[in-house]
């Protein structure tokens, strides 16, 4: 078995600003990456670098607050209202995993992370849960703007995917026009390296994302690993690449594409090169904290998820019954929280 296919880097600027031919070429490259690896790096993606950096700064400021303060914006119990702050140890398994056997297995190794989730200000089903403004002035305003920047990028990626499959105009973007997306700030606190090597704790257990598309910005600490689709159980590390956003397919999109596009399993563990990211505290070797910012997209809840054009032919018979995006979420949630 050979080396895993690397995650391609695609210049999305040529889609955003290019002519028809360039757009078609970018769309084909993304389609290819999603077929082979389920992940792609996009450069020239249009989310301003200074906004990404500022988001990491806000994230650090937020997580640096005392626990009692962060608990002023608590994530409600259960999984149907996914907003607010979750303290380390609260979310025992990845919310994006639904296979029952897998969940049972994963419960054995707790993730050590804290998170803060916000979403579309116009999402009536899941209102945002903010801190009182004077606890972190400006945080809310920034997150609301940053959300719209990421949402715009999601819509442009959907345009590219539509082009690659020749989905008739206006393509897939309208199926996401409610922008029921989720912006997640993640902080993996420093912890003894031995806890990760002995599997006493993980940072985030192996899972796949469950929406349509995920955007991910990560800091330079490292530790993200993606499974080799051709070699289950084998993971390769995925570094942050300057000025690139990492984009991956989620389970709903995999189903929608009749498994043309892969929803690839990934996890966060010990960084591959621990040298620059360890520190000694009270005689114990610790791995430095990690910050990352995923942005999860999904389709409007009434969208019928039925094999997309170009995804069914003689060689690829239709694998799944149509389901609404809402029905699909119910199915996943039921498995996760029962
Ligand atoms: O921290 C990371 O880079 C990965 C986060 C992730 O996979 C998730 O939240 O679904
Ligand atoms: Fe994920």
Q: What is the pLDDT of residue 272?
A: 86
**CA–CA dist 226, 248 (Å, integer):** 10
Show the CA angle centred on residue 48, arms to residues 6 and 9, nearest 5°.
Answer: 15
- Could you tell which of 52, 211, 223, 294 is best to mutate to test the pocket of ligand 1, judged by most ligand atoms within 8 Å of the CB? 294
For 123, the token pair is: 């999402």
Which ligand 1 atom is at minimum distance from the Cα of 216? 3
Burial of 134 (0-12, 13-18, 19+ CB in 10 A): exposed
Q: What is the pLDDT of residues 241-284, one digit of tens each?
A: 999 999 999 999 999 999 999 999 999 999 988 777 888 888 89
Q: How confident is the model at residue 94 (pLDDT cuts 50, 70, 90)?
A: very low
**CA–CA dist 67, 70 (Å, integer):** 5
Q: What is the pLDDT of residues 192-238, one digit of tens each?
A: 999 988 888 889 989 999 899 999 999 999 999 999 988 988 999 99
**CA–CA dist 80, 125 (Å, integer):** 9
For 174, the token pair is: 């309208």
Which ligand 1 atom is at minimum distance from the Cα of 266? 7
Find out whether 325 and 300 touch, Cβ atoms under 8 Å. yes
Domains defined for the chain, CATH in brackets? 9-334 (2.60.120.330)
**CA–CA dist 173, 32 (Å, integer):** 20
Residue with CA closest to ligand 1 atom 5: 294
Please tell me if the CB atom of residue 186 comes closer than 6 angstroms to any atom of ligand 1.
yes
Which ligand 1 atom is at minimum distance from the Cα of 214? 10
| SS3 label, residue 67 | helix
**CA–CA dist 332, 299 (Å, integer):** 15
Please tell me if the CB atom of residue 216 comes closer than 6 angstroms to any atom of ligand 1.
yes
Find out whether 179 and 292 touch, Cβ atoms under 8 Å. no
| SS3 label, residue 30 | helix
Please tell me if the CB atom of residue 263 comes closer than 6 angstroms to any atom of ligand 1.
no
CA distances from 191 to 47, 236, 250, 269 (A): 32, 22, 29, 11
Q: What is the mean pLDDT of residues 29-56?
A: 98
Say if residue 337's pLDDT is above 60: no
Ligand number, closest to the Cα atom of 293: 1
Please tell me if the CB atom of residue 182 comes closer than 6 angstroms to any atom of ligand 1.
no
Please tell me if the CB atom of residue 218 comes closer than 6 angstroms to any atom of ligand 1.
yes
Ligand number, closest to the Cα atom of 225: 1
Q: What is the pLDDT of residue 276?
A: 77
Find out whether 63 and 114 touch, Cβ atoms under 8 Å. yes
Show the CA angle centred on residue 33, arms to residues 28 and 37, nearest 5°.
Answer: 160
pTM comes to: 0.94
Give percent of the chain with pLDDT exceeding 90. 78
Find out whether 95 and 79 touch, Cβ atoms under 8 Å. yes
């Amino acid at each position: 078995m050979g080396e895993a296919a690397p995650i391609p880097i695609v210049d999305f600027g040529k889609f955003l600003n290019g002519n028809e031919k360039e757009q078609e070429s970018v769309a084909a490259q993304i389609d290819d990456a999603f077929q082979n690896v389920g992940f792609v790096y996009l450069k020239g993606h249009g989310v301003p670098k200074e906004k990404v950096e500022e988001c990491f700064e806000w994230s650090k400021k937020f997580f640096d607050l005392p626990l009692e303060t962060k608990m002023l914006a608590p994530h409600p119990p259960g999984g149907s209202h996914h907003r607010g702050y979750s303290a380390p140890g609260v979310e025992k398994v990845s919310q994006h995993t639904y296979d029952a056997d897998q969940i049972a297995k994963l419960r054995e190794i707790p993730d050590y992370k804290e998170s803060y989730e916000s979403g579309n200000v116009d999402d009536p089903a899941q209102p945002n849960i903010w801190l009182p403004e004077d606890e972190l002035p400006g945080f809310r305003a920034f997150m609301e703007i940053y959300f719209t920047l990421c949402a715009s990028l999601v819509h442009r990626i959907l345009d590219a995917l539509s082009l690659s499959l020749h989905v008739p105009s206006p393509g897939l973007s309208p199926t996401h026009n409610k922008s029921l997306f989720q912006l997640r700030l993640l902080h993996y606190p420093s912890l003894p390296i031995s806890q990760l090597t002995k599997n006493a704790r993980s940072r985030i257990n192996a899972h796949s994302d469950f929406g349509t598309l995920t955007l991910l910005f990560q800091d330079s600490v490292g530790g993200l690993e993606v499974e080799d689709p051709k070699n289950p159980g084998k993971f390769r590390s995925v570094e942050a690449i300057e000025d690139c956003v990492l984009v991956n397919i989620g389970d709903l999109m995999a189903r929608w594409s009749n498994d043309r596009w892969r929803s690839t399993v990934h996890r966060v563990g010990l960084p591959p090169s621990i040298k620059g990211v360890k520190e000694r505290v009270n005689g114990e070797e610790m791995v430095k904290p990690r910050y990352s910012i995923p942005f999860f997209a999904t389709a409007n809840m009434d969208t019928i998820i039925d094999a997309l054009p170009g995804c069914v032919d003689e060689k690829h018979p239709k694998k799944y019954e149509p389901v609404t995006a809402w029905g699909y979420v119910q199915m996943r949630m039921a498995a996760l929280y029962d």
